[in-house]
């Protein structure tokens, strides 16, 4: 994969040329009752790390550092068989259930109210799913009443009896999960789902007109019904919903790192297709209402495939180990979020701990995997407006996508804090890429810090024994001279330039 030219790459930035304001909800997470995400991850009363509520302190601290702004719960495939009433009220009365999505035993010791406490302690907004598989439209509406209505009627009073007199005021809701998938408990055809979701949406919004609803879109762009499913469901529900959900998992299945690192183009195409679908439905219906995209499951997932819990509690399921190339894909995915933030308003990394997650726990220890670091850097530095950056970079050849530029770039400018950031991935496995960054109007006075995740081995990973194999370095800042900055980006790297002034 030798680059087509050794000319320096050029990145042109103009703070007046913007995509849109970056929604903070793009930095969201997803916590499912699956494997050891909830039990052994968030909630682990037996661990020396547990606080008085049974939440792991080390996990809470690491989640706070990412600063997830929204958290989707309780599933996932789990959602489609879940009766939310099992997870509220006195713990000793909660039923143990055979959980059919992951063939595990669900103890229900963690439920809606514990989740609210958890969200509160890490400063994130809850996004609750309602069961559209085995659940009824009444179950969905009752959960909105339980969470959001003032006391005085049955389900709100039940909440008060459970110790929460004040409503939880949950603003964001998902109308089921991956209902297009035959694997889903209670799977429906698009028109069946659209009708059920619409009726649930009406009842939910009658309880609380301020809530925002997300409709299930296709569970992946590889589904045969994609994107027809999305069109049909949207046409039935358009006026009643606010977001269309997207899901996608990717991996280096053929051990073809050059192609894997160019995958961002394909992720971007998925947004473009669904944005076109939104525009089509809006104009077909002559609507004044807008629906946006919520990429509420996204991640690298292809190595760990154990999904059968063998009817045990908190089994080790899909505990993916992430390496450097995975982190570079995650960084580019976040770049896609910035480049598409005019239509993409919510994104939730699936998932936050142990299950395909940037964090892994052991009895009393926590490991930050490679993918943890791009998340922290974007969450910390991408704010204000996303900029429409022009990148000219040498190209390289990939088996899957043909010729692709060596660099993948996004940038942000936050006028309120007079700060900016440039996020650059060098996809080359071998070549250092010289790059000139040119600001066309207002340039930062200084690049106050440079954060860089890089290495020679795309397969390098962190482990409990060697937790610092792939961690970002902080390089000294640089002066910006004449709106210009030249630097060299090492191969297999993700670099964040933080601008001030």
Stretch that binds ligand AHR, among 48-56, 70-78, 121-129, 251-259 (CB under 6 A): 70-78
Strand partners, 419: 414, 500
Mask: binding to ligand AHR, 137-176, rule CB under 6 A, as x and -?
----------------------------------------
Residue 371 binds ligand AHR, judged by CB under 6 A: no
Nearer to ligand AHR, 185 or 443 (CB): 185
Contacts of 390 (CB under 8 A, 6+ apart): 11, 12
* Listed ranges 73-81, 114-122, 152-160, 370-378: which one lies at the site for ligand AHR (CB under 6 A): 73-81
- With CB under 6 A as the contact rule, the residue among 11, 278, 350, 385 that binds ligand AHR is 350
- The secondary structure of 198-244 as a DSSP string is HHHHHHHHHH-TT-EEEEE--S-TTSTTTTHHHHHHHHHHGGG-SEE
Closer Cβ to ligand AHR, 234 or 350, answer by number: 350
Closest separation between CB of residue 37 and ligand AHR, Å? 9
Radius of gyration of the chain (CA): 23
> Cβ distance 207 to 145 under 8 Å?
yes
* 99 in contact with ligand AHR (CB under 6 A): no
**74 is a contact residue toward ligand AHR (CB under 6 A):** no
Calculate the alpha carbon distances from 157 to 128, 144, 168, 185, 281 in Å. Answer: 20, 13, 13, 31, 40
- Judged by phi (left if over 0) then psi (alpha if -120 to 50, else beta), residue 352 lies in alpha
Site string for ligand AHR, 15-34 (x = CB under 6 A): -----------------x-x
144 near 150, Cβ under 8 Å? no
**Of 32, 114, 297, 320, which is the active-site residue?**
297
What part of residues 289-348 is at the interface with ligand AHR (CB under 6 A)?
A: 297
CB closer to ligand AHR out of 32 and 230: 32
Alpha carbon distance 472, 143 (integer Å)? 43
Q: Among residues 41, 76, 194, 444, which is the contact residue for ligand AHR, using CB under 6 A?
A: 76
Stretch that binds ligand AHR, among 72-80, 189-197, 377-385, 393-401 (CB under 6 A): 72-80
Calpha distance 214→70 (Å, rounded): 13
Q: How far is the CB of 102 from ligand AHR (least distance, A)?
A: 8
Smaller CB separation from ligand AHR, 133 or 394: 133
Kindly list the distances between the CA atom of residue 73 and the CA atoms of 33, 264, 364, in Å, as whole numbers in the listed order.
8, 27, 25
In whole angstroms, how close is the CB of 492 to ligand AHR at the nearest point?
A: 27
178, 319, 320, 325: the active-site residue = 178
Q: How far apart are the first and last CA of the chain?
A: 39
Q: How far is the CB of 349 from ligand AHR (least distance, A)?
A: 10
Q: Is 177 in the site for ligand AHR (CB under 6 A)?
A: yes
Burial label, 351 (beta-carbon count in 10 A; 0-12, 13-18, 19+): buried
Q: In this complex, which beta carbon is closest to ligand AHR, that of residue 75 or of residue 135? A: 75
Nearest approach, Cβ of 78 to ligand AHR (angstroms)? Answer: 6
Give the nearest residue (CB) to ligand AHR.
Answer: 76
Total residues binding ligand AHR (CB under 6 A): 10
> Torsions phi, psi of 167, nearest 5?
-60, 150
Residue selected from 99, 145, 178, 326 as contacting ligand AHR according to rule CB under 6 A? 178
Which of the stretches 42-50, 74-82, 162-170, 477-485 binds ligand AHR when contact is defined by CB under 6 A? 74-82
Q: Which of 298, 372, 369, 350 is nearest to 73 (CA)?
A: 350
Confirm whether 297 is a catalytic residue.
yes
CB 233 within 8 A of CB 195: no
Q: Is 386 in the site for ligand AHR (CB under 6 A)?
A: no
Q: Which stretch binds ligand AHR (CB under 6 A): 69-77, 276-284, 368-376, 491-499?
A: 69-77
d(CA 229, CA 221): 11
Q: How many angstroms separate the CA atoms of 47 and 57, rounded?
A: 10
Pick the closer one to ligand AHR by CB: 168 or 248: 248
Report yes or no: 261 and 329 within 8 Å, Cβ to Cβ. Answer: yes
Can you state the angle between helices 324-339 and 372-381, rounded to 10 degrees?
A: 30
Which residues are annotated as catalytic? Answer: 178, 297
* Residues of this chain that bind ligand AHR (CB under 6 A): 32, 34, 75-77, 177-178, 297, 350-351
């Amino acid at each position: 994969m030798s680059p087509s030219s050794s000319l320096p790459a050029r990145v042109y930035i103009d703070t007046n040329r913007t995509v849109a304001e970056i929604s903070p909800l793009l930095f969201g997470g997803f916590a499912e009752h699956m494997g050891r995400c909830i039990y052994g991850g968030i909630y682990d009363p037996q661990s020396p790390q547990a606080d008085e509520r049974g939440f792991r302190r080390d996990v809470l601290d690491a989640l706070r550092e990412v600063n997830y702004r929204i958290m989707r719960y309780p599933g996932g495939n789990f959602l489609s068989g879940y009766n939310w009433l099992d997870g509220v009220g006195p713990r000793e009365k909660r039923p143990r259930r055979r959980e059919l999505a992951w063939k595990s035993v669900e103890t229900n010791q963690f439920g809606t109210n514990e989740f609210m406490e958890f969200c509160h302690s890490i400063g994130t907004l809850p996004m609750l799913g309602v069961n559209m598989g085995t659940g009824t439209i009444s179950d969905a509406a009752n959960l909105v009443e339980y969470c959001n209505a003032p006391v005085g009627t049955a389900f709100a009073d039940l909440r008060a009896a459970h110790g929460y007199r004040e409503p939880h005021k949950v603003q964001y809701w998902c109308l089921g999960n991956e209902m297009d998938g035959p694997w889903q408990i209670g799977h429906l055809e698009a028109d069946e789902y659209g009708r059920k979701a619409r009726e649930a949406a009406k009842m939910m919004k009658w309880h609380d007109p301020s809530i925002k609803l997300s409709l299930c879109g296709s569970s992946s762009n590889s589904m045969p019904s994609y994107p027809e499913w999305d069109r049909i469901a949207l046409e039935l529900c358009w006026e009643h919903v606010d977001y269309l959900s997207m899901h996608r998992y990717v991996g280096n299945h053929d051990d073809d790192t050059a192609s894997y690192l160019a995958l961002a183009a394909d992720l971007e195409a998925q947004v473009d297709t669904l944005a076109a679908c939104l525009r089509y439905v809006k104009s077909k219906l002559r609507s004044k209402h807008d629906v946006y995209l919520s990429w509420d499951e996204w991640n690298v997932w292809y190595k760990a495939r154990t999904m059968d819990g063998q009817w045990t509690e908190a089994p080790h399921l899909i505990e993916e180990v992430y390496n450097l190339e995975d982190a570079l894909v995650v960084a580019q995915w976040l770049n896609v979020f910035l480049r598409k933030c005019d239509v993409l308003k919510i994104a939730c990394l699936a998932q936050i701990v142990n299950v395909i997650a940037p964090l892994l726990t052991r009895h009393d220890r926590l490991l930050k995997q490679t993918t943890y670091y791009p998340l922290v850097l974007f969450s910390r530095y991408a704010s204000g407006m996303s900029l429409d950056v022009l990148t000219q970079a040498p190209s390289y050849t990939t088996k899957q996508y043909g010729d692709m530029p060596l660099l993948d770039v996004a940038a942000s400018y936050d006028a309120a804090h007079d700060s900016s950031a440039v996020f650059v991935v060098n996809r080359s496995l071998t070549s250092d890429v010289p790059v000139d960054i040119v600001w066309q109007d207002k340039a930062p006075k200084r690049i106050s810090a440079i954060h860089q995740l890089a290495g020679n081995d795309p397969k390098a990973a962190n482990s409990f024994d060697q937790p610092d194999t792939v961690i970002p370095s902080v390089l000294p800042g640089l002066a910006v001279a004449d709106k210009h900055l030249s630097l060299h980006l090492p191969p297999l790297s993700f670099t964040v330039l933080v601008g001030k002034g």
